[in-house]
Structure 1
């Protein structure tokens, strides 16, 4: 009788699980544009570990190279949500305010660095005078360089900016077209793999805080219950990352087809958490003033960035999780 009861329970549980999977698969898919980077880890983990399905969501991840392409897919109505950095949010806010940041899910204060084949030459920043520095125009790469010069009172130094694409930075450095590059990961790791010396010029940890954010359109067709379920799935993935970092890295290594050593190189720099902190708002404001000063955006088009940050959704989610 006991055995029959156990078998009945197992069979019943299997049927219930199968029924749940079938009901989820029949739902309209929620599409999310995610960047092909370890920063998107919570989304890849949520997909692999079944957290989306467990929260009654049918989610399809559409992968793109970089947050700019993810954001463009969102505003072109190719996807329901997108992931992008705060810099992408800042630049696009000068053009439109029909989108909203729903939550940040990862931060790093050591993602952008100055790199060189001969870093020892530039340990003192005075020595970067008259150098050729490869940067990505109007991006975190250029913002980081300017922030570094301002912090160390070196804005007067004569330097030549060489504007390149991300794919051109390392080849230009290796081919002696530039002396230094201002680059984000994994370019630092990729360069380290090719030269014998650690390429980082100066320890700039804490100078620039990168965040990756979940973004949606204000007039979204996705209802609030599914948005809450989406945040819950990402939250569960973040908890899993904290509890099982090695397995999380294994999943990412296979998903992104990158070496485990690359993940280990920068993993400690990532802080995975759901938030919408005042630091994000301040960071966007600081970057916007830099963009105005450098004539990268229209000076007359001042933006109230509170228009593109949706605090209510995350606050509601946090209150539910806390049982309030």
Structure 2
């Protein structure tokens, strides 16, 4: 729609598979900005504080789910005892599973955790190497293509909030005005998504080379807005405690996540938009 050009920006989109690769490209200075989930932000904050979360631009409270080819078998969470569960280690996939078990007081259940890369979750399920996977979209949609019912085991809406965040390096050649212009372009796109949802879905379908039905499958689960909310900050803190408890990060490491939130830039942008 030309929103970048309208804000005097010449932007190249570098497509990478997942937030971890995007973050690494940023740290290696192969890109000026990256997008990643709050889980990627949390883990990397234990290693470094030379980056900033500039804004969250999309959120979902129904993106990560427990999925199975035989979901009816596991409607009662007690029934997942001794199940083989495919998980992406140290990711939202594992955090979601642990949160679910704790919430329903099922943390004591014996389960077999099978750690797999993201792209091997569905093949493992289809080849009967696991019974369940803890996974994010579009894997739920992809599984729905193989079975006649929804693959989701239980309704877990609201249990876990996934955010997609714009991240930059603190020491960068991109000045403040260009960062503000970038936020303006993203905000313009967000307004368009809200005012022209059908047209936005058509554009996304073509740009991402996915079917409109895949977009429609989870479209209503996403909230498009620029924010840096207290809920996001609390979510990262909760995940960090989980990472310490599960020994995914050193226990002695204490992280002040305020160091990686650039609230001032977004406040400046919001004030400009409001005409203050």
TM-score range, shorter chain: over 0.9
2:36 paired with 1:84: yes
Looking at structure 2, the residues matched to 72 and 293 of structure 1 have their Cα atoms a distance apart, in angstroms, of 25
Q: Are 2:110 and 1:158 equivalent residues in the alignment? A: yes
Aligned length: 276
Q: 1:234 and 2:186 equivalent?
A: yes
Match of 1:44? none
Deviations 1:167-194 (A, max 9, x none): 1111111111111110100000000001
For residues 179 and 171 of structure 2, what CA distance do their matches in structure 1 show? 13
Q: Could you say which residue in structure 1 is the equivalent of 2:94? A: 142
1:125 to 72, 77, 81: 77
Whether 2:129 is the aligned partner of 1:177: answer yes
Tell me how far apart the structure 2 counterparts of residues 172 and 219 of structure 1 sit (CA, whole Å).
Answer: 42
Q: What is the alpha-carbon distance in structure 1 between the residues aligned to residue 75 and residue 244 of structure 2?
A: 30
1:213 to 146, 153, 165: 165
Q: Does 1:167 align with 2:119?
A: yes
Give the whole-Å Cα distance in 2 for the aligned partners of 1:197 and 1:273. 32
Q: What are the superposed Cα offsets for residues 30-50 of structure 1, whole Å, 9 maximum, x if unpaired?
A: xxxxxxxxxxxxxxxxxxx10
Corresponding residue number in structure 2 for 1:199: 151
Gaps of 5+ in 2: none
Ranges of 4+ aligned residues in structure 1 off by more than 6 Å: none
- Greater shift after overlay, 142-151 or 169-178? 169-178
Q: Does 1:295 align with 2:247?
A: yes
Does residue 63 of the first structure (1) align with residue 9 of the second (2)?
no
Instruction: Confirm or deny that 1:109 pairs with 2:55.
Output: no
Q: Tell me: higher relative CO, structure 1 or 2? Use CA pairs within 8 A at least 6 residues apart.
A: 2
Runs (5+) with no aligned partner, structure 1? 1-48
Distance 2:11 2:130 in 1: 43
Q: Give TM-score scaled by structure 2 length.
A: 0.99
Cα offsets for 1:138-165 (capped at 9, x unmatched): 0000000000000000000000000011
Q: CA RMSD in A?
A: 0.6
Identify the residue that residue 266 of structure 1 maps to in structure 2: 218
* Matched position secondary structure for 1:107: strand
Q: Does 1:248 align with 2:238?
A: no
Q: Deviations over 1:229-281 (max 9, x none)?
A: 11000000000000111111111111111010000000000000000000000
Q: Which secondary structure does the structure 1 equivalent of 2:119 belong to? A: helix
